[in-house]
């Protein structure tokens, strides 16, 4: 029989134990931030009905990346979830009688997109989402924005910028520039490419797609504006835009929402040097209706986006008679993990193994003593591995512990057992102890805490 080539599909990865320990640290840190803001966990199936995804205003570009799934004899057309936002909308409509408003949920799970694999971009990846259903006030948007700020600071990031904009304002800018209503989706799609091809590239693409030169000129003037600096400077930038756009109602509404968002973010303690107005930031998904967010790591250089999100007040209405105001964010866990490795942000407490102690096996006659010691340590909450091959030399067992990064080894040889003692060794500094067998747990804790 021919051997099967062992490899993962393109754009998908295995995670070794040391990698999973770091992943779990990041995910658990973000989870703790979500819960500190009063958000509760949910889960949904990996598969959704095809119509659930295609009828949810993802946008034509996103729909091209959906993975479809079918099994022999299956009557339902299925697809792998593209994100966690559309499943939330379906989930709420299906279970609304069991849920209380406002509904704060978080969801940490994998999603799939048929993108071209490249550094930091995968076809299977985890998202960490937090959303508030049922609150129309901009304070909800500011609070999910605060979650991003808090999570990144807690993970050790210092140089990042939360970019904010508003889909209503973008629509107003399009109206001001003379973009026909039917071409507004094309406008969003092109502006969304600014990070990839630059503003001049976007303007050239508009010319290629038949936008009028006067329209392009007006768009260039507004899209080149930036709102950075203090809160007052950013509010002043919005006032400048207000004066330019005049009485376009949807634009004025978007500006008022951005003003409220920035002011509330300031109340929540988000530093002004971690936020900026960016009128070229659109968010490609078609379901956004108000404030939108995207966070980038700024130093060294621009290391890309680690978060996206915004308000989508109409999406739940795809699944029930009336929609509900909803806002939320999604943290890109894969990019965050890669950047934490690059920037050396993992604390020393995040080891390459979860094991704290290796109990060696001296020989066949003493293995039961080793197993009893291992269980005693486990009952005390100390993560312990018992070596199960007593025929291996003690030196090889200690070498095994050292290669895995296990901090402490326990040795129970015939002399120790005869005298009711136990020998301990901390591998980082070769510090050794011999203590009464009854003091095993306390001595191990001292070694782990560097108190001995």
Q: Which residue ranges make up each domain of the chain?
A: 10-159+298-350, 170-273, 357-448
Average pLDDT, integer, range 188-193: 86
Tell me yes or no: is domain 10-159+298-350 CATH 3.30.930.10.
Answer: yes
Tokens standing for residue 350:
């995040």
What secondary structure does DSSP assign to 423-438, as a single string?
Answer: EEEETTTTEEEEEEGG
Q: Tell me the residue ranges of DSSP E strands in 225-351.
A: 226-227, 275-278, 291-297, 305-311, 326-332
pLDDT range class, residue 97, cuts 50, 70, 90 = very high
In terms of DSSP bridges, do strands 357-359 and 384-386 run parallel, antiparallel, or are they unpaired? Answer: parallel
* CATH superfamily entry for domain 357-448: Anticodon-binding domain (3.40.50.800)
Q: Over pLDDT 90: what percentage of the chain?
A: 72
- The pLDDT, as a whole number, for residue 74 is 76
Q: What Cα–Cα distance (Å) separates residue 324 from each residue in 130, 145, 183, 254, 431?
A: 16, 20, 27, 19, 62
Tens digit of each residue's pLDDT (9 = 90 or more) over 139-168:
999 999 999 999 999 999 999 999 999 999
Distance of alpha carbon 74 from alpha carbon 33, whole angstroms: 41
pTM for the whole thing? Answer: 0.90
User: Contact, 276 vs 164, CB < 8 A?
Assistant: yes
Bigger pLDDT: 128 vs 285 = 128
pLDDT at 121 over 90: no
- The pLDDT, as a whole number, for residue 340 is 94
pLDDT at 59 over 70: no
Tens digit of each residue's pLDDT (9 = 90 or more) over 267-302:
999 998 999 999 988 887 778 999 999 999 998 777
Tens digit of each residue's pLDDT (9 = 90 or more) over 353-370:
999 999 999 999 999 999
Tens digit of each residue's pLDDT (9 = 90 or more) over 15-26:
999 999 999 999
- The pLDDT, as a whole number, for residue 112 is 95
pLDDT at 258 over 80: yes
Distance of alpha carbon 452 from alpha carbon 450, whole angstroms: 6
Average pLDDT, integer, range 87-92: 95
Bigger pLDDT: 265 vs 452 = 265
pLDDT at 68 over 70: yes
pLDDT at 303 over 80: no
Bigger pLDDT: 216 vs 29 = 29
Tens digit of each residue's pLDDT (9 = 90 or more) over 390-409:
999 999 999 999 999 999 99
């Amino acid at each position: 029989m021919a051997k099967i080539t062992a490899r993962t599909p393109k754009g998908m990865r295995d995670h070794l134990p040391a990698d999973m320990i770091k992943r779990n640290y990041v995910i658990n840190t973000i989870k703790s931030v979500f819960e500190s803001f009063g958000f509760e966990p949910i889960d949904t199936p990996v598969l959704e009905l095809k119509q659930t995804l295609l009828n949810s205003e993802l946008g034509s570009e996103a729909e091209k990346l959906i993975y479809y799934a079918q099994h022999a004899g299956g009557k339902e057309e299925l697809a792998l979830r593209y994100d966690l936002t559309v499943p939330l909308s379906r989930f709420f409509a299906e279970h609304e009688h069991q849920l209380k408003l406002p509904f704060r949920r978080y969801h940490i799970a994998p999603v799939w997109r048929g993108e071209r694999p490249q550094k930091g971009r995968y076809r299977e990846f985890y998202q960490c989402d937090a959303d508030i259903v049922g609150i129309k006030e901009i304070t909800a948007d500011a609070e999910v924005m605060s979650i991003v700020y808090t999570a990144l600071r807690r993970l050790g990031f210092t140089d990042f910028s939360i970019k904010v904009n508003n889909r209503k304002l973008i629509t107003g800018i399009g109206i001001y520039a003379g973009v026909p209503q039917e071409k507004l989706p094309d406008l969003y799609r092109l502006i969304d490419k600014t990070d990839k091809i630059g503003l001049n590239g976007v303007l050239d693409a508009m010319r290629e797609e038949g936008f009028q030169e006067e329209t392009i000129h007006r768009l260039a003037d507004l899209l080149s504006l930036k709102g950075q600096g203090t809160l007052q400077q950013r509010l002043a930038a919005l006032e400048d835009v207000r004066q330019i756009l005049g009485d376009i109602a949807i634009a004025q509404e978007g500006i008022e929402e951005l003003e409220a968002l920035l002011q509330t973010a300031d109340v929540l303690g988000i530093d002004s040097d971690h936020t900026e107005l960016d009128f070229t930031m659109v968010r490609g998904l078609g379901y956004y209706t108000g404030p939108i967010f995207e966070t980038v790591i700024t130093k060294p250089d621009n290391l890309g986006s680690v978060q996206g999100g915004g308000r989508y007040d109409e999406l739940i209405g795809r699944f029930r008679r009336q929609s509900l105001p909803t806002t939320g964010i999604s943290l890109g866990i894969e990019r965050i993990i890669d950047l934490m490795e690059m920037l050396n942000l993992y604390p020393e407490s995040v080891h390459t193994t979860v094991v704290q102690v290796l109990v060696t096996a001296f020989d066949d006659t003493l293995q039961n003593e080793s197993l009893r010691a291992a269980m005693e340590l486990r009952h005390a909450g100390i993560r312990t591995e018992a070596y199960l091959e007593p025929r291996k030399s003690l030196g090889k067992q200690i070498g095994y512990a050292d290669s895995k990064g296990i901090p402490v080894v326990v040795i129970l040889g015939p002399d120790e057992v005869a005298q009711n003692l136990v020998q301990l060794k901390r591998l980082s500094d070769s510090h050794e102890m011999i203590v009464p067998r009854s003091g095993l747990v306390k001595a191990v804790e001292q070694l782990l805490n560097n108190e001995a």
